[in-house]
């Protein structure tokens, strides 16, 4: 494909999306952002204030229809917008299907009608369920909860639009992204946000199980760069796993963050290890990790004030917040 000049980033005021905006602007593109600010923050784009190459609209992706002027002349679409977290998806499955699956269809149709040259979807490694590791792109799909299912259905829609309409698409299944600007509000979720607020409050880290479980953490700027590579490549119709390919334990994270620990029960349907086989994305796109785990944690600690207003979780509030999770899997076992 020719060098893209105009990019549209959905969820562009959010965690990964705002870093993708940074990367695209740094590479000289005009960037348009869609974000309803449910999880994103205008603050994440404030350092670009006054940049004539950036335009943002704070609307829901489901409000857009084909022919919307924001999509006019767009060369590439990076689609990050959606809702995350496991427990709320168990409690509100229809909303997750509406936003993550049907919302993706809205973006696909807008991109198709605008003649976009590439649509890159932010998929989730949760589609694999309790996977064998290291996990390749050919691993069987087995979503364990509605969030995982909704993200996978969004990905299926992406490839259906490629098959039926010829829209050039790629999909990246993100494993465990972490870094600055991650979400600070809402439901009990990712370990970094929970731990950072606990550190600010001088409270112990709530470690699930014995802390030996590992996650394939990849720093957010590396994630954003991978999406730019997937947008600029001539390859289409591809799925790539994205992680560091080097899982780190929760205990190692606690060691780097430094603090006391309290242990809470393990949760059903959660893998002991996530580990992306990244050989395909390295071969196809030349992707290489640039930020080590230790460097990334240092960068987060240097910006820890960002999480000052985040909710503070303790064992009791976590137990209450995750009860639907345990109940759902208990019902499955009884069935």
Query: Catalytic positions, please?
Result: 147
What are the residues facing 6 on neighbouring strands?
A: 30
Torsion of CA 88, 89, 92, 94, to 10 degrees: 160
Between CA 125 and CA 131 the distance in angstroms is 9
CA atoms within 13 A on the CB side of 43: 10
- On the 0-12 / 13-18 / 19+ scale of CB atoms within 10 A, 50 is exposed
Question: How many Å apart are CA 296 and CA 220, to the nearest integer?
Answer: 9
β-pairing, 118-124 vs 76-79, is: parallel
Query: What's the number of CA atoms in the CB half-sphere (13 Å) around residue 48?
Result: 24
């Amino acid at each position: 494909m020719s060098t893209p000049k105009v990019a549209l980033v959905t969820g562009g005021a959010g965690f990964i999306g705002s870093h993708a905006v940074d990367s695209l602007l740094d590479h000289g593109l005009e960037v348009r952002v869609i974000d309803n600010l449910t999880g994103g923050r205008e603050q994440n784009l404030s350092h670009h204030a006054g940049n004539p190459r950036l335009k943002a609209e704070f609307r829901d992706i489901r409000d857009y229809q084909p022919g919307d002027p924001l999509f006019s002349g767009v060369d590439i679409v990076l689609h990050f917008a959606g809702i995350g977290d496991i427990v709320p998806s168990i409690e509100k499955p229809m909303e997750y299907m509406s936003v993550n699956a049907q919302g993706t269809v809205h973006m696909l149709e807008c991109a198709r009608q605008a003649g976009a040259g590439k649509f890159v979807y932010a998929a989730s490694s949760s589609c694999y369920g309790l996977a064998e590791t290291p996990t390749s792109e050919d691993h069987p799909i087995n979503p364990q909860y509605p969030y995982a299912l909704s993200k996978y259905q969004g990905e299926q829609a992406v490839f259906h639009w490629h098959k039926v309409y010829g829209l050039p698409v790629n999909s990246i299944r993100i494993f465990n992204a972490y870094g600055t600007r991650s979400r600070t509000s809402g439901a009990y979720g990712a370990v970094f946000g929970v731990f950072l607020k606990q550190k600010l409050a001088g409270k112990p880290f709530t470690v699930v199980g014995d802390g030996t479980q590992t996650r394939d953490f990849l720093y957010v700027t590396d994630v954003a760069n991978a999406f730019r590579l997937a947008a600029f490549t001539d390859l289409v119709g591809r799925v790539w796993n994205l992680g560091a390919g080097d899982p780190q334990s929760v205990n190692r994270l606690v060691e780097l963050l430094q603090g006391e620990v309290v242990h809470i029960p393990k949760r059903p349907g959660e893998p002991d290890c996530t580990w992306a086989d990244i050989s395909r994305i390295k071969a196809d796109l030349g992707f290489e990790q640039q930020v080590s785990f230790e460097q990334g944690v240092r960068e987060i600690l240097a910006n820890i004030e960002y999480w000052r207003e985040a909710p503070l979780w303790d064992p009791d509030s976590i137990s209450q917040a995750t009860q639907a999770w345990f109940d759902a899997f208990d019902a499955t076992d009884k069935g």
